[in-house]
Structure 1
């Protein structure tokens, strides 16, 4: 049976109301959504630049850490726990890790995503340990940022590979 003119008019009217309501909703949230989008672009660019610097040997993502950043290594590695400050994380994990390396890690980013103040980076990193053996691991970092700095991070990686390096290679003596 064919719809009546009254039925078609009502359907068109309801569709128009739906479009109007959607348009009003989009206009109402646009400034907030735009700000989050812009923040995401800035944060993604900052993290990308830090990884480029790391790969080039001129910096690292750790340069983006706020002094009071909380870094959590998830899982069951020998370093898995939450480090309450940048300095604690650098002192207890990054410096001892680097002291076990003959050649620094070189990251290769597989994927980098940002949504407002959250950035997710999925990457591989390879280097040579002091014993001449290669170190290769895959990482996923979930970074919470504020004003261009990392304030909180959760890191995931292959704990078996990390633990092997940590146990097998003694750190070079500090200068």
Structure 2
């Protein structure tokens, strides 16, 4: 890949991520729209959801849908930093919402993505597992 090609890929990936996060913030879509069907999503650490998810369907069914079912007001993100390097994207962001029991939820995330043709092929997610586990255990979907 030439330097010009790499720059074009970075510009495309940055735009895709910025637009996906804007849709997420507006409640009209989100970053999961960018997942490849065969994505490998790894939640790093020791949270109740930490493991490797093989495929978009597994990740959405086992993590995102149960998480959203615990919320009365879905997460709204604020990007702190977005870094691109070819097909690698790092998104450092805060997100907050309100759980079904009325208690606010807030967390800080760092996602490391490997893109393929404008889709997320591999992801590694880091976040405060104590805050996540507290919500996951307190509120039933």
Q: Give the TM-score category using the shorter length.
A: over 0.9
SS in 1 for 2:95: strand
Runs of 4+ in 1 over 4 A off after TM superposition: none
TM-score, normalised via structure 2 length: 0.99
Aligned to 1:131: 101
Q: In the alignment, which of 35, 52, 68 is matched to residue 22 of structure 2?
A: 52
The whole-number CA distance in structure 1 between the counterparts of 2:100 and 2:54 is 29
Aligned to 1:32: 2
Could you say which structure has the higher helix fraction?
1
Instruction: Indicate yes or no: 2:120 matched with 1:150.
Output: yes
SS in 1 for 2:84: strand
Aligned to 1:170: 140
Could you say which structure has the higher strand fraction?
2
Deviations 1:57-103 (A, max 9, x none): 11010000000000000011000000000000000000000000010
The whole-number CA distance in structure 2 between the counterparts of 1:148 and 1:83 is 20
Larger relative contact order (Cα-Cα within 8 Å, sequence gap ≥ 6): 2
Q: In the alignment, which of 95, 108, 111 is matched to residue 81 of structure 2?
A: 111
TM-score, normalised via structure 1 length: 0.80
Instruction: Indicate yes or no: 2:32 matched with 1:62.
Output: yes
Gaps of 5+ in 2: none
Aligned to 2:111: 141
Cα offset, 1:34, TM superposition: 1.1
Query: How many residues are paired up?
Result: 141
For the pair shown, which has the larger CA radius of gyration, 1 or 2?
1
The whole-number CA distance in structure 2 between the counterparts of 1:78 and 1:58 is 28
